[in-house]
Amino acid sequence: MPVEAGAATAWSLRRRLLLLTAAATVAAWVAGGSITYLVSNRQSERLSDQQMGSVAQALLALSDHEIDEIRLAGGGTIQIDEDPSLVRHYHYQVWLSRPPQLMLTNGDPAARPLAPFNQPGFVTRELEGEAFRTVVLWSEDHSKLIQIAEPLRLREAFPRAAHLTLLALFLASAAILLAINAWMIRRATRALGESAAQVLLRSPADLRPIAVCGPPSELEPLVNAINDLFRRFDQALETERRFTSAAAHELRTPLAAIKVQAQVAQLTRTASERKSALAQLVLAIDRAAHMIDQLLTLSRLDGMLALQPRLTAMRLDEVASQVIAEVQPLLKRRDQHIDARLSACEIQGLEFGVASLLRNLIDNAMRYGPAGSTVRVTVERQDGRCVAMVEDAGPGIPAAEREKVFERFYRLYGDPEGCGIGLSIVRTVAQVHQARIDLDQSDLGGLRARVSFPALPSSV
């Protein structure tokens, strides 16, 4: 499907989810790996310090015997060769404190102290251009002390190997997790592809619901909304088909009447007969035009009912006032007048639909009311609802017929002037607005049509 100019570039939900999960996974892994690295380094350093402290205490304890032998022999400082592993990892010196005298060492007897005597504990320092970790430990009587130094390159060799192993495990586990994420996302978004395929492969007339096997809960509202849209379109198309069939049937009668009046006009012999025939022809054309207008209005309202349009706030009394102003020329022609009693009342509605409802009710009241009669139009609030009432002085509608008159193309008593659509329009508008319709006897002598709309809170 081509992208319209100026429209945003299409993007892939699956690809974006993969990128987001990959970024989140890598970020979490890096953060966790960094913390693990820092903690393990710290723990490794503490363990190495503990090991070096244990070696220092052991050597300090063993040095007493060696020092005693040196004193008995009257000798000076000696160099002791220890285990090769100890020599390779540690350099140590044992000193007498008073006076300071080097007694034991596994290094150069002439070397200077590995660390200052007044810095007991563990310190990292540089000796002869290389970094060492040193510890200074005094005996309990402070008569001697031991100094041990360990090259950091040897201390860090094992943690470095362990860290490389952890890094390899990290990379392998991250790759496995990313693969699992990709598989899960493809599986989770498979319903999207199925839904799109079902829509793309359909013909315009195929409005069956989309059937997706095990869709995720996040997709269900979209599938339900599409299915609901299909259902409403199907209803609209079915309404249109029924309307087209009924309209074609009902239009035969006025068209036949026009044809008859035209034939009569052709057969007239005098000017007066021709004038009368042409007047009847114009009347027949007006009736056909009125029926076509009503059919178009009904079709439009049926479409609105099927598609459930969004209603907007509007003043019912203002719409009634506009409709009354539109019918004033017809009132004068019939020598009738309207008693308007309009109070402010706000509803949620379609102005076109509400105006059609009121226009048909007022038109019926004018048509069936006698010349010189009154048509009463009332808009008021009753029990939290907005009520529109139209009353006339005509013959009214018998109680047994009050439900039937809302059927399409139903004419009471076979009335030739009506087309049987007006009250169908009224009912359709009421359905769109969730309004109630009641037909009753008016105190004017004729019919009272009462339509009750849900009211918005009064702004007055």
* Predicted confidence (pLDDT) per residue in 217-226, tens digit: 666 777 777 7
Q: Could you tell me which CATH number the domain at 311-454 has?
A: 3.30.565.10
**pLDDT range class, residue 460, cuts 50, 70, 90:** very low
pLDDT, tens digit (0-9, with 9 covering 90-100), for 155-210: 777 667 777 777 788 788 878 877 887 777 777 677 666 766 767 667 666 777 77
Which position has the higher pLDDT, 345 or 170? 345
Residue 386: is its pLDDT beyond 80? yes
How does residue 450 score in pLDDT terms, banded at 50, 70 and 90?
very high
* Per-residue model confidence (pLDDT) at position 151: 85
Q: What is the pLDDT of residue 298?
A: 62
Specify burial of residue 108 (Cβ count, 10 A radius: 0-12, 13-18, 19+). exposed
pLDDT at 341: 92
pLDDT tens-place string over residues 40-61: 778 878 888 888 888 888 888 8
233 CB-contact burial (10 Å; exposed 0-12 / middle 13-18 / buried 19+): middle
User: To the nearest whole number, what is the mean pLDDT of the chain?
Assistant: 77
Question: Can you give the pLDDT at residue 7?
Answer: 47
Segment holding 223, helix H or strand E = helix 220-267
Residues 62 and 382: their CA atoms lie apart, in Å, by 108
Residues whose CB is less than 8 angstroms from the CB of residue 163 and which lie 6 or more positions away in sequence, other chains included: 37, 40
Q: Is the predicted pLDDT of residue 357 greater than 80, yes or no?
A: yes
In this prediction, residue 318 carries a pLDDT of: 93
What is the number of other CB atoms lying within 10 angstroms of the CB of residue 456? 16
Quick one: average pLDDT of 124-142?
85
pTM of the predicted structure, to 2 decimals:
0.45
Q: How many residues does the chain have?
A: 460
List, as one string, the DSSP characters of 289-339. HHHHHHHHHHHHHHHHHHH-PPPEEEEHHHHHHHHHHHTHHHHHHHT-EEE
Q: Is 354 helix (H, G, I), strand (E, B) or coil?
A: helix
Share of the chain above pLDDT 90, in %: 10
pLDDT tens digit sequence for 7-39: 455 566 667 777 887 788 778 878 877 887 788
pLDDT band of 317, cuts 50, 70, 90: very high
Instruction: Please tell me the predicted confidence (pLDDT) of residue 379.
Output: 93
Distances in Å between the Cα of 1 and the Cα atoms of 195, 200, 204, 216, 426 are 16, 11, 16, 26, 42
- Residue 418 confidence (pLDDT): 57
Per-residue pLDDT band for 429 (boundaries 50, 70, 90) equals: confident
| pLDDT tens figures, 246-295 | 556 555 656 666 777 777 777 787 888 778 877 777 766 766 666 666 56
Q: Are 426 and 433 in contact (CB under 8 A)?
A: no
H or E element that contains 125:
strand 121-127
Q: Label residue 93 by pLDDT band (50, 70, 90).
A: confident
Give the pLDDT band of residue 436 (cuts 50, 70, 90): very high
Q: What is the mean pLDDT of residues 422-443?
A: 86
For residue range 291-314, what is the model confidence (pLDDT) as tens digits? 666 566 666 666 555 545 677 888
Contact, 78 vs 102, CB < 8 A? no
Q: Identify the helix (H) or strand (E) that includes residue 151.
A: strand 144-151
The Cα 233–Cα 303 span in angstroms is 9
